[in-house]
């Protein structure tokens, strides 16, 4: 006998979780489609050369890579962004730009599983490609907001920054070549605290104390909160830092002002914050960047992040395609909703079960079931004339609300008895039409 075990870092999804996950996906798909985003799909397997691109770094070590039957060097995709770049380059002439796509699919990374991380997980990406206008950045933020709304999550804050801000500031004060080191130290603020960060900036990065304090003030960071500046203070802060920046930084301020002004006019500024400390790593993004947190669940980290990038397809094509996009962390969202009891696991999606009292009535039971299904009611028919107590036990285990029962007598009158297992209420000899209105009236 072979032990039926799954690989480390992988897992089965049982129905009660899968129902919630599918519901989550459905709500996000609906959100994307309400903005005109279109679904695409790409292969799970690609040429390794395509997935690794310039290569180097963590990805090379984590990627599932092997030789296929034809001796090709292939690998499983580890994200949906590299396949998107390849997709855009390959299908450039068949697409209408600006191209808005979403892609919800699993990716694979052979990474350390210690921190509750999985080696197979879903990504849920949406991007607007082929447009530079800051108006598309605004739309991506509106999509995120609507996504949270449609998931019935209320206490979220979307933190926004601009990649050119800090660079401009550092450049103006002559610290640009030290920006990597500075960012590395600053990233530790939530672990080691403000004092320690300042100390490291002075001792290790060799920045005068005064300038170190200036950087920390510019970034507006505090060790005890990850959420940035909110409300009208945003506009004050933007104005205050404007003189500290060069031309590129001033443009970034204008873009941020456009975003925040529109959010204010749309009466939704309270869901957003300006957080000059957010960087989203060092490469890749070139403009607006953002991360989203749930106020009372900061420990989950960002549940939706993204930003603007300049030239997605440069590795595969001469056509320059810029864009802006974001990604919902589906598995993180699932864990979060579970922790907040927003979705409760369901044992079934069945509205009513028809018991089997008499095998000769099989077609009578199925006929009734078909009529209910035509009325958008989910119905099960119990398969065997087992003891009625066992059929009730099954219905309870599966958490089904309604039970329909008919023997020869009821069948002759084209009726069923119905019982609500939640209220224990029973009604005798109802027609199918009466039963439909009871179930739908619920």
Across 134-237, the runs of DSSP E, i.e. the strands, are 156-162
Is 193 a binding residue for its own copies by CB under 8 A? The answer is no
* 29, burial (CB in 10 Å: exposed 0-12, middle 13-18, buried 19+): middle
Q: Which of residues 131-150 bind its own copies (CB under 8 A)?
A: 131, 133, 135-136, 138-139, 142, 146
Place of tokens 């550092």: 170
Collapse the DSSP code of 427 into the 3-class scheme (helix H, G, I; strand E, B; otherwise coil) and give the result: strand
Query: Among 13-21, 189-197, 283-291, 431-439, which window interacts with its own copies (CB under 8 A)?
Result: 13-21
Given 170, 197, 253, 356, the residue binding its own copies (CB under 8 A): 356
- Distance in Å, CB of 308 to its own copies, minimum: 13
Is 299 a binding residue for its own copies by CB under 8 A? The answer is no
CA distance 227 to 221: 9
Query: Among 163-171, 231-239, 294-302, 356-364, which window interacts with its own copies (CB under 8 A)?
Result: 356-364
List the beta bridge partners of residue 106.
Answer: 122
Is 10 a binding residue for its own copies by CB under 8 A? The answer is yes
- Distance in Å, CB of 371 to its own copies, minimum: 11
Q: Tell me which DSSP letter residue 263 carries.
A: H
Is 402 a binding residue for its own copies by CB under 8 A? The answer is no
List the beta bridge partners of residue 380.
Answer: 353
Q: Which of residues 63-102 bind its own copies (CB under 8 A)?
A: 64, 66-70, 72, 74, 76, 85-87, 89-91, 94-96, 98, 100-101
Query: Among 262-270, 294-302, 404-412, 425-433, which window interacts with its own copies (CB under 8 A)?
Result: 262-270
Identify whether the C-beta of residue 103 lies closer than 8 Å to the C-beta of residue 39.
yes
Given 42, 230, 233, 251, the residue binding its own copies (CB under 8 A): 42
Residue 180 CB partners (closer than 8 Å, separation 6+): 282
- Distance in Å, CB of 192 to its own copies, minimum: 31
Query: Among 182-190, 222-230, 330-338, 394-402, which window interacts with its own copies (CB under 8 A)?
Result: 394-402
Identify whether the C-beta of residue 372 lies closer than 8 Å to the C-beta of residue 352.
yes
Across 147-303, the runs of DSSP E, i.e. the strands, are 156-162, 272-274, 285-294
């Amino acid at each position: 006998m072979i032990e039926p075990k799954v690989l480390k870092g992988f897992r089965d999804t049982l129905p009660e979780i899968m129902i919630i996950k599918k519901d989550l996906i459905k709500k996000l798909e609906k959100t994307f489609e309400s903005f005109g985003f279109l679904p695409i799909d790409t292969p799970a397997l690609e040429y390794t050369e395509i997935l690794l691109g310039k290569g180097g770094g963590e990805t090379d070590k984590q990627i599932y890579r092997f030789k296929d039957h034809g001796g090709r060097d292939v690998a499983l995709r580890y994200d949906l962004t590299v396949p998107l770049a390849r997709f855009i380059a390959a299908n450039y002439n068949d697409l209408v730009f600006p191209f808005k796509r979403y892609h919800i699919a699993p990716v694979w990374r052979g990474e350390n599983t210690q921190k509750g991380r999985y080696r197979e997980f879903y990504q849920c990406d949406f991007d607007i490609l082929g447009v530079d206008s800051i108006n598309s950045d605004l739309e991506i933020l509106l999509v995120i907001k609507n996504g949270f709304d449609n998931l019935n999550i209320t206490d979220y804050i979307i933190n926004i920054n601009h990649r050119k801000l800090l660079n401009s500031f550092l450049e103006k004060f002559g610290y640009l070549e030290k920006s990597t080191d500075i960012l590395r130290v600053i990233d530790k603020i939530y672990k080691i605290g403000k004092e320690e960060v300042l100390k490291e900036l002075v001792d290790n990065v060799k920045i005068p104390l005064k300038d170190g304090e200036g950087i920390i003030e510019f970034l507006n960071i505090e060790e005890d909160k990850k959420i940035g500046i909110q409300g009208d203070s945003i506009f004050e802060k933007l104005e205050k830092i404007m003189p500290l920046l060069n031309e590129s930084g001033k443009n970034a301020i204008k873009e941020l002002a456009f975003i925040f002004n529109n959010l204010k006019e749309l009466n939704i500024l309270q869901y957003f914050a300006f957080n000059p400390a957010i960087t989203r790593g060092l490469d890749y993004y070139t403009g607006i960047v953002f991360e989203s947190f749930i106020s009372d669940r900061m420990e989950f980290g960002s549940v939706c992040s993204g930003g603007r990038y300049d030239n997605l397809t440069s590795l595969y094509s001469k056509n320059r395609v810029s864009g802006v996009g974001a990604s919902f962390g589906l598995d993180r969202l699932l864990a979060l909703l579970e922790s907040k009891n927003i979705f409760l696991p369901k044992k079934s999606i069945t509205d009513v079960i028809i018991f089997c009292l008499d095998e000769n009535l099989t077609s009578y039971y199925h006929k009734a079931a078909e009529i209910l299904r035509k009325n958008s009611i989910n119905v099960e028919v119990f398969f065997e004339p087992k003891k009625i107590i066992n059929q009730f036990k099954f219905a309870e285990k599966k958490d089904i609300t309604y039970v329909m029962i008919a023997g020869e007598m009821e069948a002759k009158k084209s009726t069923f008895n119905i019982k609500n297992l939640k209220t224990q209420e029973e009604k005798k000899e109802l027609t199918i039409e009466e039963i439909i209105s009871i179930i739908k009236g619920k």
